[in-house]
Chain A
């Protein structure tokens, strides 16, 4: 689990990351979505100790990154696939990482196979790699230590649609095995394809977070019953009032305003745990608005 608590990073008077808090849960793929320059990369660099926060902290499985004695075995990190020595071969880059972590040499070939780089490709120097191949190599570096947590900055950048599907399956499997994945992207559709949970950041601030289903749901009302077994009863009562419902994430989304849903629940005698407007329809719109704002201002990443 990754826990970001009130993280702030200022550069002079510019606030790149502004009181950011969120959690990437174990067993889930969390997408960190925001336009370029929104503060994603800065947040991720702070996570792994490359940048010092002005205030706030990040813990990964309950600890500060620098408290880990051999972090490569606990957290797999890919910050920039292009940040590899152009004069080394892909295999050599992995071998250096394996040696640093103290892993047996055999892991290099295994990991190359896992990310779909052939022997021939691994023997080429990285300057001759396409961006997609660099991404695979970067992911291999992150995976080789067999970590519990992955922190990946724009890993799908440069991958073709088949590559994106490959990455989704890889990360899905990783999360299903009890791992934690945090990946960033500036493309909504990439995050939609890959992530379970979404955290949206714009101009250094978190503007929305929740499960993908919640955030992408159309407008309406989100309702959760106190006792999950009562959910069907509420759904039936709403149908009788001609309200269409869709189950999402342990609750219901109802095409009606919260007042009507509340009254219906009351009449049906169902106690509620949560009742609010599900204004998730705004996600795409909000995201476009964020993108438009920041692209005008041209803030640095």
Chain B
């Protein structure tokens, strides 16, 4: 049954003056980055994750001072002690910044206010990088304080053994970790799925690869090229050689850049419900 009526003539015609058109200015990308940063902090989960960055730094420094042998109280010990737990927390922040839009369905509002998903994702990537770098500076400062306090307690001279290049490597390692979180968020678009994926990525796969390398001769030389955690972890504690950088490039291409590109492409096209 089809009953069709002609559309009603509008009672209000354009006799009056046209509605005043306001000057509508485009949304600058800096504002989008600001909004994404805000959204990382403004939920209870986000707040505590961010707070945990500071808390973990302080606890790790305290642990070093209490338990590490006196000779080991160097700046590097502090930075490793702080950096490792942070490398677990930071990617989760990155994951939630993407998956919240889907798990909590806020994407419905985000993508209607900003109907260019590429710009939203760019803002998320930039915000993620800013948080990653800022967190490393927090860790650096807390670690330095720890070193000062620690050496004061032990009565030894403070050992400052972190070079700028080393610090740069640590920042890069954490940024890569956060980008992996972002990639998993983009691929899974579900907080639970992406966090499980993240733990598989950072705890199950390394063990699997390590076991394989331990028992299979042929895999031993191959591991640095395919095991992304192996390649990234070297940023924390080793001097990077040209070959190490190549291995980092190859393994992140497979485990990070390609899946990230695929995930972003899907996000740009997928229907938001």
Contacts and interface: CB of A to CB of B under 8 A. Distances in A.
A79 B108 CA distance: 7
A225 to B, nearest CB: 14
Nearest to B6: A210
Interface stretch (A65-73, A105-113, A115-123, A229-237): A65-73
A25 B107 CA distance: 28
Contacts of A220: none
Nearest first, the 5 closest Cβ-Cβ pairs linking A and B are: A210-B5, A27-B12, A87-B43, A83-B105, A211-B8
B164 interface: no
Interface string B34-62: 11001100111110000000000000000
A77 B110 CA distance: 11
B19 interface: yes
Interface in B92-140: 100, 104-116
A214 B38 CA distance: 50
B25 A70 contact: yes
A28 B12 contact: yes
Interface in A129-149: 141, 148
Given A96-B35, A208-B5, A250-B9, A85 B43 contact: yes
Given A85-B104, A100-B27, A141 B109 contact: yes
B26 interface: yes
A19 B180 CA distance: 43
Contacts, number: 151
B10 interface: yes
Given A49-B112, A73-B22, A80-B105, A210 B42 contact: no
A178 interface: yes
A215 B6 CA distance: 11
Interface string B255-273: 0000000000000010111
B177 to A, nearest CB: 24
Interface in A199-220: 205-211, 214-215
A3 to B, nearest CB: 11
Contacts of B113: 71-72, 97, 100-101
A74 interface: yes
A214 B115 contact: no
Interface residues of B, number: 49
A100 B32 contact: yes
A179 B9 CA distance: 16
Contact of B24 (A26, A68, A86): A68
Q: How large is the interface on A (under 10, 10 to 19, 20 to 34, 35 or more residues)?
A: 35 or more
Contacts of B100: 85
A148 B24 CA distance: 12
Given A97-B113, A99-B34, A84 B104 contact: yes
Which one of B10, B25, B31, B100 has the highest number of Cβ atoms from chain A below 10 Å of its Cβ?
B10
A85 B273 CA distance: 14
Nearest to A176: B12
Given A69-B24, A71-B115, A208 B108 contact: no
Interface in A18-75: 22-23, 25-28, 45, 48-52, 65-66, 68-74
Nearest to B39: A96
B4 A73 contact: no
The residue in B2, B5, B44, B272 that gathers the most chain A C-beta atoms within 10 A of its C-beta is B5
Contacts of A205: 2
B8 A214 contact: yes
A282 interface: yes
A69 B106 contact: no
Nearest to B46: A87
Contacts of A84: 104-106, 109
B7 interface: yes
A70 B108 contact: no
Contacts of B46: 87
Contact of B27 (A49, A52, A69, A208): A69
Contacts of B25: 69-70, 102
Contacts of A80: 105, 108
B32 to A, nearest CB: 7
